[in-house]
Amino acid sequence: MKDRLLPDFHSHVLPGIDDGSRSTEESLRMLEMLRSQGISTVVATPHFDADRITIDDFLSRRERAFRVLSERVAEDVPTIKTGAEVSYYPGISRLERLYELCIGKTRLLLLEMPIGKWDKYVVDELVNLSSSRRIIPIVAHVERCLPYQERRFLEKISSSDVLFQINASFVINISTRRKALRLLKNGLVQLLGSDCHGAETRPPEIGEAYRIIADKLGEKFVTNMLEYGNSLIHF
Ligand SMILES: [Fe+2]
């Protein structure tokens, strides 16, 4: 698994910017853990909440955290791509500079959707982000939202460009593993993230999740997953 160039689409690995890593040292430990688990690219997705911070302030804080960390990283640790975990609010699709919160130079936007039942407005806005704004939303830890959604809405989202990400813990946890594997197998979920917040608290365990997927769904399945994931963030 270690030479497989595995991507991690969701992490709080940048130091001192949100409720994730508290210091550069902790970030370095997290990156080393990710490296030892075979992760080649980690997307750093600090929380962005438009009610609490402006885009300019967020981007400058993220840039500073990224620079401080980059100066200290060893050569063989995963490549860090910057992004954000953007809190959804009704009307977010009208936010002019949304693309600045996307992953690297892509149009991929990690979006934290409300937990609870989404109404037609929310679903339409999610779908319209891709059709009208050319943003490709990735719904973060979608396992938290899926149980509440109507099938017709999920079908509408699935037939759009919107992507779904699940957390590694959803695969690892024995009580949810079967469900996670089914979602991956039927294609409703495409991407995996560690959603790691620290070296001790909520540490990265994504390598274990990929290993379980390979074990249960086959090596080829993981190969396809990582090729697809890498093609999204490296182009
Ligand atoms: Fe997160």
pLDDT at 62 over 80: yes
Ligand 1 centroid from CA 12, angstroms: 6
Q: Coil, strand, or helix at residue 93? A: helix
Asked whether 185 and 161 are in contact (CB, 8 A), the reply is no
Ligand 1 centroid from CA 37, angstroms: 19
Domain assignment present for residue 1? The answer is: no
Ligand 1 centroid from CA 218, angstroms: 27
Domain assignment present for residue 74? The answer is: yes
Question: pLDDT tens, 69-88?
Answer: 999 998 888 999 999 999 99
Q: What pLDDT, on a 0 to 100 scale, did the predictor assign at position 235?
A: 62
Ligand 1 centroid from CA 70, angstroms: 21
The identity of residue 158, as a single letter, is: S
User: What pTM was computed for the model?
Assistant: 0.96
The rounded distance, in Å, linking the Cα atoms of 66 and 60 is 10
The rounded distance, in Å, linking the Cα atoms of 5 and 226 is 7
Question: pLDDT tens, 154-204?
Answer: 999 999 999 999 999 999 999 999 999 999 999 999 999 999 999 999 999
Ligand 1 centroid from CA 231, angstroms: 22
Q: Show the CA angle centred on residue 1, arms to residues 108 and 3, nearest 5°.
A: 80
Q: What pLDDT, on a 0 to 100 scale, did the predictor assign at position 3?
A: 64
Ligand 1 centroid from CA 195, angstroms: 5
Neighbouring CB atoms inside 10 A of 77's CB total: 21
| CATH code, domain with 164 | 3.20.20.140
- Please, which residues have CB within 8 angstroms of residue 226's CB and are 6 or more apart in sequence? 4, 5, 6, 7
Ligand 1 centroid from CA 45, angstroms: 7
Ligand 1 centroid from CA 110, angstroms: 9
Q: How many domains does the chain have?
A: 1
Domain assignment present for residue 189? The answer is: yes
* Token digits of residue 143: 């396992």
**Could you tell me the residue range of the domain that residue 163 belongs to?**
6-233
